[in-house]
Amino acid sequence: MKVLLGVTGSIAVYKACELVRLLVKRGDDVRVAMTTHAREFVMPLTFQTLSRNPVACDMFAEPGEWRPEHISLAEWAEFVLVAPATANILAKMAHGIADDLLSSVLLAARSPVAVAPAMNDGMWANPATQANVAALSARGVRIVSPGEGALACGTSGKGRMAEPAEIISKCFAQ
């Protein structure tokens, strides 16, 4: 399957590396689109090496083909997964905001979409985030709920991105 993995700016990016490895091991053709903030945590080269494909990072980079990259990626993907999905990308998706490469791909995508949220427990519990998740779920976006436990910010609660194997199981159950 052609899987586009959207990676956003969260410490949980390290789990996205394992997610790519497991998807490739399954036989999926994986491409990665990273936000600017995601690149603060992990370099594109990491995902390029794991996926064996170029990594899309910039809305205005010179395209490899004549079509805008956000459209060609959206049309290429048979499944789009955003992991980690920050509160920011969830809000953009819920409100149709397309101000960077990944959010533009998500707005143009016609394939199934799933998100694996990752954020502080307070951000996850915030009514705005919960309303955005509910809106996305109502539109058919698959939500792989975060787990509970110790968070990178030093608190404990619900907000940890699900483990890569669980994400794959919930997105690609046979």
pLDDT in tens, 4-33: 999 999 999 999 999 999 999 999 999 999
Mean pLDDT of 76-86: 96
Domain that holds residue 167: 2-171
> What is the structure's pLDDT at 174?
56
Phi-psi region of 42 (alpha: psi -120 to 50; beta: other; left: phi over 0): beta
pLDDT band at 65 (very low <50, low <70, confident <90, very high): low
> What is the structure's pLDDT at 66?
54
Angstrom distance (rounded) from CA 136 to CA 142: 8
CATH of the domain at 56: 3.40.50.1950
Structural contact between residues 48 and 30, judged by C-beta atoms closer than 8 angstroms: no
Contacts with 9 (C-beta within 8 Å, 6 or more apart), sequence order? 35, 36, 37, 38, 40, 41, 86, 88
Angstrom distance (rounded) from CA 24 to CA 12: 19
Structural contact between residues 146 and 158, judged by C-beta atoms closer than 8 angstroms: yes
Mode of pairing for the β-strands spanning 142-143 and 113-117: parallel
Cα 43 to its chain centre, rounded Å, is 16
pTM: 0.93
> What is the domain count for the chain?
1
Active site residues: 153
Please check the confidence at residue 76 and state whether its pLDDT lies above 90. no
Angstrom distance (rounded) from CA 66 to CA 168: 33
The larger pLDDT score, comparing residue 145 to residue 173, is at 145
